[in-house]
Structure formats: structure tokens, C-alpha cells
Amino acid sequence: MTESHFLDAPTDGRRATAATTPAAQRRAERPLRILIPSYRSAPHTGGQGIYVQNLSRALADLGHHVDVASGPPYPELDPRVGLIRLPSLDLFSEKNAFKALKWKHLLSRPDAYEWWAHNTGAFAEPATFGMRLARHVTALPQPYDLVHDNQSLSWGLLQIARRGTPVVATLHHPITRDRDVALGEAKDWGTRALLRRWYGFLRMQAEVARALPALIAVSQSTRRDAATDFGLDPARMTVIHNGVDTTTFRPLPEVPRRNDLMVATVSANTPLKGLAYLPPAFSGVAQRQPQLKLEIVAKPPAADILTQNASGTARARIRFRPGLSQTDLVRLYAEATVAVAPSLYEGFGLPAAEAMACGVPVIATSGGALPEVVGDAGMIVPAADAAALADAISALLDDPAQRLALGARGLLRATSQFRWDQNAKACVAIYRRILGGC
């Protein structure tokens, strides 16, 4: 029975159907036991960690029992949300991953496979996390009502589903887009071969996604691109936009907004995030704006993109700010004249939405879902076009009235359209549909 039966049930004394009986209503409203698996879940690892943190809290606000199962680095969760730690070898934190193997690891299939795959150039964490997850869930005396996967899309999910626990999954974006951008920037066949080995897990993700009964896409862009890249039926995907934690990301009226500060938050140092286009765009503006500064909330990349892509005078005015706390990031947004989202592709674009929630005027590229998120509350420029980005920055710096208007529109859009309580309610509607109205 679908949820529409509950919405359309008669309330004017006509003959009640089974869906309108008190017992059916109680079943439809009962709290659910929900497990959210996520192979890496710390908020500082990117948008997926923020998603787990906020969705689990919003589901708990609705009265549901929620646990998060995660490998390291572990999430920061609301006290009402349980954490199930599923330790991996965490080889990315090892100085020498090859020497990290211990005899005890040979007794564990996930550990042995993770070590072998990592040291032969593959990314195995989603698959090995799924093995550990399936072993944990299938051993539980009391099953969960439903498992909501956070884009691990591992074989283990199918094992759980075969044991009778329904599984749905969120797609943040098809990682085929990361692979394609990386392959396009590779300079030799050897690098391309290594990249194809690294992204080999995508075959697993596509097959698992096709096998699940329902998928949640965080944007229309993700829905469209996942359908194309993973061979999915778009009708099986429901778009539920991410939310913004507006108790944290909010205007700070007591902090004076500067007129000489450009800010960009880049969640990962990958080509997909478009970091390489920021220094040349900034250089083009800095010649006309000698006081302008650029602060990039990210770790400096391995390659010196400042030396390669920024003029000497502009280079001294660019600073990387890795590891900022949310409190410091919100204050930085409060001071910023403009925020820039330079990505070549985003499945959603949480940094842009968070900047909007702080009242900062936003300039974003046309990459992926960014135009969908920003809407008419910011400026959109073509992706991978440093000159167009520089022109938009200059135009906005020269127009205080437009900055004020865009900041106000962005704040209204973020706080009205990107809410975690709405996200959680929409997810629960899908859960109950999968569970037959329970």
C-alpha cells in the first residue's frame, strides 16, 4: 500500500478502508528502527559526513530510533543516535600501508582484501565496509526495519536485503564524474591505467544501485546523471534536496562584513572541485582590486597551483585555511564580501548552500547541481572558465547593492528550501512506502 492511500483516505463518514482503521494508522505512525551505513563519516571528510550527521539527527527529532554504522574516521552524532564502529585497516592514515598487514588480518577476509587492494592501487573501502556491515547486521537478534545506505553501494547491502531487511540508498553524485575528469587530466597511459584500477569499485556501485528497490538523489542533476552513468531507471529515484544546519550556518549581524575578502570552501583536493581555476580568476581581479584577498578553506594541494596559475602580486594575497571549525567558518562567511563555488561538478553543492545561509552573495559555476541549488539567488558562470569567473567577481565587487540583494535572496532560499526536517520527513515517506505503509 502506498502513502497516497493514506493521503486520500475519506474523512467524511464514508466507509473506512483498511488504511483508515486505527490499527493501520498506528502502524503508519510507529517509530522505525533505522540503520544508516556510511563507510567514512566524519564531517571534515566532506558532504557525505555532514549528510549522516544531520539526517540522523533529523530522524531522531521525528521520534525514530537511529543508528549509524561507520568505518573510520567516525562521525560526530547527536547523543540520541547510536554509533556502531566497524573498524577498517584505515590504510590512508598509515605511513607505510604495505607494512600495515598483521598476521591477524589474514584471518579476516575484509582485512586481507582491503590490504591487497589498497597496495595494488584499488579503492576497496566501500566493498570491505559492506562485508563488515553484512556480517554485523545479519548477526543481530532483532533486525532493523530498514537500512538507508549513504552511497557505499556495496555488495554487502544485497546480502542484507536477501535476509529480509529492506535497503534504500542515497546517491550524492555518480563518482563516474570524478573518474572522467581525472582521466581527462591524466598526462600518460600509465596514469590512466592506475586511475581505472582505482575507480574499479564503480562497477559494484552501479550493479548494487540497479538492484535496490528505491534510491534517493540529492538533486535533479544527480538523478539525471546517475540514470545515464549507472543505467538506472529515473522513475526509481526520488529527489530530496540536502538541508543546511541553519542553527550553525546563519548570519552574524554583529560581525562587520568586509569589502575586500573573497572566500571559497573546497571540500576535497580533487580536479572535480575546480580549485585550479581560482588563482587565475583571482589574479585577473586582483590587478584592479589591489586590496582584495582570497581565503580558500581547504588543504593546499600537492601541486603548487599558486605558482602555476597566479601572478606574483596576487599570490601573496591567497591563503589556505584548512581545518577550520564550523564556528570559525561561519565567522569567515560573515566577514566575506563574496563566496565562490568553482567546482567543475557537484552532486549538490553544500558549501554554496551554507554560504547562502550565512547571507553571503554567491558566485557559482554551472557544474552539476550548482545552478539548481543557487537558483536566482546568486551568479552562475560557465564551469572551467577562469575569465568568466573573474568577470563575475569584478562585477559583484563593483555593485554593493547587488551584493546586498543576492545575500538576502540566498539567505531566504537556503532557509526555506534546504531544511533537514523536510529532508527527513521525505525520507520517512519513502521508508514507509517500501515497508508497505508500516
Q: Which domains does the chain have, with CATH numbers?
A: 31-243+420-434 (3.40.50.2000), 261-417 (3.40.50.2000)
Per-residue confidence band for 415, with pLDDT thresholds at 50, 70 and 90:
very high
The size of the chain, in residues, is 438
Q: Helix, strand or coil for residue 405? A: helix
Per-residue confidence band for 1, with pLDDT thresholds at 50, 70 and 90:
very low
d(CA 15, CA 13): 7
Q: Is residue 114 within 8 Å of 101, Cβ to Cβ? A: no
CB atoms within 10 A of CB 398: 11
For the chain, the distance separating the N- and C-terminal CA atoms, rounded to the nearest angstrom, is 9
pLDDT at residue 7 tops 50: no
d(CA 277, CA 411): 26
pLDDT at residue 247 tops 90: yes
How many Å is the maximal CA-CA distance in the chain? 79
Residue 320 is classified by DSSP as E
pLDDT at residue 391 tops 60: yes
d(CA 25, CA 316): 64
Per-residue confidence band for 5, with pLDDT thresholds at 50, 70 and 90:
very low
Kind and range of the H or E element at 422?
A: helix 420-434
Q: Helix, strand or coil for residue 318? A: strand
CB atoms within 10 A of CB 268: 15
Q: Is the peptide bond before 73 cis (omega within 30 degrees of 0)?
A: yes
Instruction: Note the pLDDT of residue 216.
Output: 98
Cell numbers standing for residue 72: 573510520
Structure-derived torsion over alpha carbons of residues 200, 348, 369, 383, reported in degrees to the nearest 10: -70
Per-residue confidence band for 307, with pLDDT thresholds at 50, 70 and 90:
low
Pick the more confident residue, 168 or 23. 168
DSSP annotation string for 335-384: H-SEEEE--S--SS-HHHHHHHHTT--EEEESSTTHHHHHGGGEEEE-TT
